[in-house]
Structure 1
Amino acid sequence: MATQPRPLAVVTGASSGIGLELAKIAAQEGYDLIVVADEPQIEDAAMELRAHGTNVDARQSDLSSLQNVENFYRFIAATGRPVDILLANAGRGLGRAFLDQNLDEALHVVDTNITGTIALIHMIGNDMRARGEGRILITGSIAGFIPGTYQAVYNGTKAFLNSFSFALREELEDTGVSVSCLMPGPTETRFFERAHMLDTAVGQAKKDDPAAVARQGFDSMMDNEGDVVTGWKNKFQTAIANFTPSGMLAGQHAKTAAPGSAKDAR
């Protein structure tokens, strides 16, 4: 009797943080994995994931490049297996005032968070629509509701992803393909270290557990929910943001994200 093949999950940004936790959950739920990240730690993550008894293919690739996205998609297609769930989690942050940032680094945030993400979704999403089934989870952020003073580019990219996810979800209604958006708040990952924000108030503040955030996102995707804002504080913050003038939100954000604000918060 033929063994039923395991479903396949693709996870981007899977070397650490929320991405790694999403991959762990997928493994625990019986999915084989294709994981990718732009750093060599993806191989360590793959070894950890294989301990769950799942098959894992790992790729180190910078998905800010369209060529790399196309190469990664061809790698997936070459397996001959359909992608059952796409966990589009790859992302970059960058702190400091926009005019003080290195422009190449700022553009890398845009290309990672937006260009590479929507390119991969376009490729895999078309395959899902042709089959009439599939699930997509996009990692947005509550940052997308707030003008990000000292994080202007990052928050802008997350505003795009939040909006994009709702629009795509509506376009794919009744196709068998669901789109969900995970909108976490500050989470205990390497994000603030990579974004050069360890000296900020938000960088030093208590943060959410990435495993709990990932679980909420995964379960919401499986329940076909359009979005999930994790944590009651984040839910409250997003609700208030809907009624607060943008200029006031920008000023409030500056107090937590400005360089050296960790010292002022003590």
Structure 2
Amino acid sequence: MSRPFAIVTGSSTGIGLELAKRCAKEGYDLLIAADEPEIEHAAASLRAGGTEVQSLQVDLATTEGVDKLYAAAKGRPVDALLANAGRGLGHAFLDQDLGKARQVVDTNIMGTIYLIHKVGNDMRRRNSGRILIVGSIAGFTPGSFQAVYNGTKAFLNSFSFALREELNDTKITVTCLMPGATETEFFRRAEMMDTAVGTAEKDDPAEVANIGFDAMMKGEGDVVSGLKNKVQSAAANVIPAGVLASQHRKMAEPGTAKK
């Protein structure tokens, strides 16, 4: 029997790399992608364990980038799509560079749903496959000083539940992993190292990835990683949005980093 095949996006570092490691451990051949040269280092480390790995440096915020990734699979059936690629952006919305804000939307939303549409249709024709979408507990909270990012995660959280329902009469599973703040390059890249959340202690990306992978393999609809994050996400369902936005300001406003 041939080995299963997985595509993991945003897999040069952080949660994406840990998801790729877990796929490799479970016997998957891999196609991994990210928009930075570090993807080659990630591929080398995965190949050292004997896994067949194809790597691609590509911008998944663009239609062309997604097309290039899809073509790189060369028609091989995708058993698992782990859609992790994402960008963050700190600071007040009106102070942000609109081009950077648009790149967050294009990466987190358009690139993600375009790839899922292409791979998902292939899965539907075979009536087989697993999709893991990395959302966030940020999607439950109006993100003052992260307004665009939190909005994109709210979209992904909602989209995953809707897609799962649409596919409930198939053998395709859709799982949404919703982590909290995790120890990755995210906050540095989002220019948030002068904030309380950027400098606070964070979750271990390997633990987050393992929770998400296990949920995907069980066919679960969603999973929030970590007890603290579970409490926060539950509270967000009952606390007024204005209060949540004010609380988020205390974490994400520039200059709130603890010294």
Shorter-chain TM-score bucket reads over 0.9
**Deviation for aligned residue 1:68:** 1.4
Equivalent residue runs for 1:1-266 within 5 Å: 4-76=1-73, 78=74, 80-263=75-258, 266=259
Q: What TM-score do the two structures reach when normalised by structure 1?
A: 0.96
After TM superposition, what 4+ stretches of structure 1 lie above 3 angstroms from structure 2? none
Give me the identity figure in percent: 67
**Deviation for aligned residue 1:97:** 0.2
Q: What TM-score do the two structures reach when normalised by structure 2?
A: 0.99
**Deviation for aligned residue 1:92:** 0.1
Distance in 1, Cα, partners of 2:67 & 2:76? 17
1:96 alignment partner, SS class = coil
Superimposed CA distance per residue, residues 153-193 of structure 1 (whole angstroms, 9 cap, x where no aligned partner)? 00000000000000000001121100000000000000000
2:157 alignment partner, SS class = helix
Number of residue equivalences: 259
**Deviation for aligned residue 1:13:** 0.2
**Deviation for aligned residue 1:130:** 0.4
**Deviation for aligned residue 1:5:** 1.1
2:3 alignment partner, SS class = coil
Aligned-residue Cα RMSD (Å) equals 0.7
2:228 partner letter: K
Superimposed CA distance per residue, residues 12-60 of structure 1 (whole angstroms, 9 cap, x where no aligned partner)? 0000000000000000000000000000000000001112211000000
Distance in 2, Cα, partners of 1:133 & 1:252? 42
Distance in 2, Cα, partners of 1:193 & 1:211? 19
